[in-house]
Amino acid sequence: MTKGAYRRLFDLTGKAALVTGGLGILGRGFCAALADSGADVAVVDLDEAGARSFAAELAGTYGVRTIGIAADVADPASVAKMAEAAEAALGPLSILHNNAATKTGNVGDFLASVADYSLETWREVMAVNLDGMFLVAREVGGRMAERGRGSIIQTASIYGAYAPDQSIYEGSEYLGRRINTPPVYSASKAGVIGLTKYLATYWGARGVRVNTLTPGGVESGQNDTFRQRYGARVPLGRMADRDEMTGALIFLASDASSYITGQNILVDGGLSAW
């Protein structure tokens, strides 16, 4: 390798990326990291005005091409329209960050106990967290497979790989509301990990890599009780900052990970090492 060749493995200049859930807690940082690494970025979210505004902000800051697109990832027609719009604006997509997830329109229903969890809420979450993952991967990944190249990164959660410790939720709050991790969240995120492995083997021979990015707990409005109890379970002794997820994304999106597929990259401060 010549001087600079290893560093250039992480360069995404000239590549087009699409990020679902682009306005979320982690989504904004993911979009910014891709743009800062040189990628043109399609910001996808339910909020069309917000997606367009943030896309324009990225273009102004990083000097890349962007587009903001409204899409419902649980709707096949909306997903197809999303992919068409992204490729019409940016060219063939070579990076997909399948990142969208939901807490539904009623957070109280989302955080209900196992005994009180409604099937309606369960299905609403699954429609986005798992059905949406499949629909977006099928649409964009299929296009990548036809061209013989692409990298798909799917966001899961530490609680899709490991069960939550219920004791850390005693006295814990998020933005002033008592919190827990509901069963549908763990089940849907575990499904993402399984879907990743399937698609990695399905498309591997056609040049499409598929990996999972699994964040541990990210600080985003939890109270001191939760932060302290969660941090006590982590070898690094704290929750993550949202920007600490972006390095793994750039690695998986870039040629630096060209021989990595079907893997679950846990960015969890060592929680899974206990």
Residue 176 pLDDT level (bands cut at 50, 70, 90): confident
Look at phi and psi of residue 270 and say left if phi exceeds 0, alpha if psi is from -120 to 50, else beta: left
Residue 142 pLDDT level (bands cut at 50, 70, 90): very high
Residue 154 pLDDT level (bands cut at 50, 70, 90): very high
List, in sequence order, every residue forming a beta bridge with 213; answer none if it has no partner.
155, 265
> What are the angstrom distances between the C-alpha of 92 and each of 65, 137, 269?
13, 15, 35
Mean pLDDT over residues 34-58, rounded? 98
List the one residue out of 12, 76, 71, 77 whose CA is nearest residue 43.
Answer: 71
pLDDT surpasses 90 at 175? no
pLDDT digit string, tens, across residues 47-99: 999 999 999 999 999 999 999 999 999 999 999 999 999 999 999 999 999 99
Token look-up 């499949």 returns 134
Mean pLDDT over residues 141-169, rounded? 96
pLDDT surpasses 90 at 221? no
Query: 5-106+126-163+187-221+243-266 adopts what CATH topology?
Result: Rossmann fold (3.40.50)
User: What is the C-alpha to C-alpha distance for residues 130 and 186, in angstroms, rounded to an integer?
Assistant: 11
DSSP 240: B
Domain ranges (residues) in the chain? 5-106+126-163+187-221+243-266
List the catalytic residue out of 6, 185, 198, 202. 185
Per cent of the chain over pLDDT 90 is 93
User: What is the C-alpha to C-alpha distance for residues 218 and 65, in angstroms, rounded to an integer?
Assistant: 29
pLDDT computed for residue 164 by the predictor: 92
Q: Is 185 a catalytic site residue?
A: yes
Residue 177 pLDDT level (bands cut at 50, 70, 90): confident
Q: pTM for the complete prediction?
A: 0.96
